[in-house]
Structure 1
Amino acid sequence: MRTTIYDVALHAGVSISTVSLALNSPNRVKPATLQRILAAADELQYVPKAEAVVRARRGVRRIGVMAPFTSYPSFSRRLNGVIKALRDDAWEIVLYDQESAAFTLPSLASIPLTNKLDGLIVMALPIDDPSADRILRQKLATVLVEVQRPGFSSVTIDDAAGGRLAARLLLERGHTRFGFIGEQKETADVTLPAESRLEAYGQTLAAAGHPLSPDRVLAVPHAMQPAREAAHVLLGSPEPPTAIFTHDDVLAGGVLKAARERGLRVPQDLAVIGFDDAEIAEHLGLTTIRQPLEESGEIAAETLVKQLTIPDPTLRHVTLNLTLVERETA
């Protein structure tokens, strides 16, 4: 028999009205209660019947985009790519902001199960297994950006290639003492892009005879101030690094501030390389690894529209190229 809202309410130990509120306006339900209801819905494989009928009858021409917009400036440029791709086709775009990509959370809990979305783009956010199963069960067309998962189309970059680019440039500049500042993980079950960048960075340095010491690798919350403090730790050591590669341009900005406070010349005394080529990079004269931010959003949107308009579309996986942008800091 088909699972109903009554079954979900009974299984979660809440009222039918609370389940209805959770399905339609999840932000109005206490997080613990919402998770209990979603867990019950997932376990019972519940799909709202009314929404299934609506989705089968006609599209609502509405696409959701979920990303950590307020925490990472680069995502506004990815959103520009999405808007550009959809501008001429009268798609409505609904934004869902998430705090961080540094920890696993049931991020899709903020999207009502009964919300009328034709499709969804999820940018750089880890999706837990229940949420992924829920998307697939509801047949909600979804494209992932900077994340890969079986059953989903994706648009990614080669983070390891970025680490190699940074290491090779610094080696060419004659550096022998290196550091790395990355983003701090909140939970162990998340794999951040910084980890792939760091691994390739370290491997390339080791192959050249200059292994990266573990005490010169620091992880901090994603903000300039923690990066500045970490840079002071590295630069205050007995044999400080003469080159630091960071997870992204925001953290690189913190390193540059610490270098200025110590009276170090950049790049003569300290070379700094960031990642992304966000708007701040050009203003800082920052050498960085550029990833095609707008293009990733544009391709994600185009891929999603194809999934919505082509019968039985095949999954698409696109890996975009990175470019080394040399400016004043390295």
Structure 2
Amino acid sequence: MAKQPASKRTPATIYDVAERAGVSIATVSHALNRPEKVSDATRTKVMDVVDELQFVPKAAAVSHARRGVGRIGVVAPFTSYSSYSVRLAGVLSGFAESAVDVVVFDHPSVAAASSPLLSALPTTGRLDALLIMGIPLDEAMAQRLRSRRMPTVLVDSYHEEFPTVNVDDELGGLLLGRHLVQRGHQRIAYVAEQQASPDYLSPGQRRVIGVGKALAEADLPGDALGLIFTETADLAGGRAAADTVASTADRPTALVAHHDHLAAGLLAGLREAQVSVPGDVAVAGYDGSELADALGLTTMRQPLGETGYTASRLLREAIDTDGDAPVRHVMLVPELIQGETT
């Protein structure tokens, strides 16, 4: 019998996926709907078959008939970094006059953990488009999005085949580093969570590169820039890092925190240890949040709301053209806000 053209093939069922992957239908269901309950190896095997068969869950097949109506998934580490809530406000503003539903998914911080959530979202059929913030896009996921022609925009990460919106983190680190060098600092430490995966260049790593360039411009040695890793990227993590700095004899004279909440913890911990700020140690944050303003922190202000709004416009364009809009990469510029802590 002649092989049927792709357009005439009977749609794959969950039983077809289970048989091809050598697992139960319950495992297939978990891989798609509760991926955290399936091992990485099994989930990868199931998802490979799902992609191969272009399987769409039966209950969600109707989504193909409503493409263009609009149900958009926004995925970001919302509970790990408050800055993504500000970006989300920009996204919602961009879609305020559109007939779309915006569905929010929280993702663990990629500095501390990975999550299977993102890999399953394009296969569920429940979404028409994705906005992915602060999460690197691996090649398997990129191929899944391409094969399903799902309009996708990335924020705070980069892939050459998808529209992206970023803030120039290397420039931000450079400007902040120059500011500290101009104030006589020759030993600076960047404070952040340790990144779990070495497979991508994160915003924090780009900022470190920028600070390093500022030190090189001043002919300072390579070891003038250090790294202090925290277990958590919050006030408690900042306090713990401050304890480490306070008890170090040859401590850095300036600390650059990955974000303002971490900087607030550093500020509190140093003051509790009776380390003068900025007399003994200068402290700078990142993001330009209301907390930084309230505490008088020196910080790099990111145009967070503009980032989300711009991403929403790019995604709207991708939806309207069914994914055929030109791929655009937007780079926004941060601004140094000098406070009382440097």
From 225, 234, 242, give the equivalent of 2:236. 225
Listed as ranges, the matches of 1:127-206 within 5 Å are 127-206=137-216
Q: Deviations over 1:132-174 (max 9, x none)?
A: 2111110000000010012110000111101111111111222
The secondary structure found in structure 2 opposite 1:283 is: helix
In 2, the alpha carbon distance for the partners of 1:39 and 1:227 equals: 41
Matching of residue 95 in structure 1 with residue 117 in structure 2: no
Matching of residue 313 in structure 1 with residue 325 in structure 2: yes
Q: State the 1:212 CA deviation.
A: 5.0
Q: State the 1:224 CA deviation.
A: 2.5
Q: Which of 150-159 and 235-244 deviates more?
A: 235-244
In 2, the alpha carbon distance for the partners of 1:295 and 1:213 equals: 36
AA paired with 2:266? V
Q: Which of 86-95 and 210-219 deviates more?
A: 210-219
Structure 2 residue aligned with 1:48: 56
Quickly say closer, same or farther: Cα 1:10–1:281, change in 2 above 3 A: same
Structure 1 residue aligned with 2:84: 75
Q: State the 1:233 CA deviation.
A: 2.1
The secondary structure found in structure 1 opposite 2:96 is: helix
Contact 1:145 1:154 in 2 (8 A): yes
AA paired with 2:212? G
Q: Which of 313-322 and 128-137 deviates more?
A: 128-137
Q: Which of 151-160 and 271-280 deviates more?
A: 271-280
The secondary structure found in structure 2 opposite 1:245 is: strand
Structure 2 residue aligned with 1:65: 74
Tell me the C-alpha RMSD between the 2 structures.
2.5
In 2, the alpha carbon distance for the partners of 1:30 and 1:137 equals: 24
Structure 2 residue aligned with 1:288: 299
Matching of residue 38 in structure 1 with residue 38 in structure 2: no
Q: Which of 266-275 and 106-115 deviates more?
A: 106-115
Q: Which of 262-271 and 289-298 deviates more?
A: 262-271
Structure 1 length as normaliser, TM-score?
0.90
Q: State the 1:244 CA deviation.
A: 1.1
Contact 2:56 2:125 in 1 (8 A): no
**How much identity, in percent, do the aligned residues show?**
39
Quickly say closer, same or farther: Cα 1:49–1:74, change in 2 above 3 A: closer
Q: Deviations over 1:202-251 (max 9, x none)?
A: 22113213335278322223223233222332332222222111211122
Q: Which of 112-121 and 243-252 deviates more?
A: 112-121
**What count of residue pairs does the alignment treat as equivalent?**
328
In 1, the alpha carbon distance for the partners of 2:31 and 2:227 equals: 42
In 1, the alpha carbon distance for the partners of 2:133 and 2:172 equals: 19
Structure 2 residue aligned with 1:260: 271
Q: Deviations over 1:54-104 (max 9, x none)?
A: 436642311110001111111110000011111111211001110112155
Structure 2 residue aligned with 1:303: 314
Quickly say closer, same or farther: Cα 1:133–1:254, change in 2 above 3 A: same
From 123, 133, 138, give the equivalent of 1:123. 133
From 10, 16, 21, give the equivalent of 1:12. 21
Structure 2 residue aligned with 1:275: 286
AA paired with 2:38? K
From 316, 328, 340, give the equivalent of 1:328. 340
Contact 1:273 1:288 in 2 (8 A): yes
Structure 1 residue aligned with 2:121: 111
In 1, the alpha carbon distance for the partners of 2:280 and 2:327 equals: 48
Could you tell me which runs of 5 or more consecutive residues in structure 2 were left unpaired when the two chains were aligned.
none
Could you tell me which runs of 5 or more consecutive residues in structure 1 were left unpaired when the two chains were aligned.
none
Quickly say closer, same or farther: Cα 1:15–1:211, change in 2 above 3 A: same
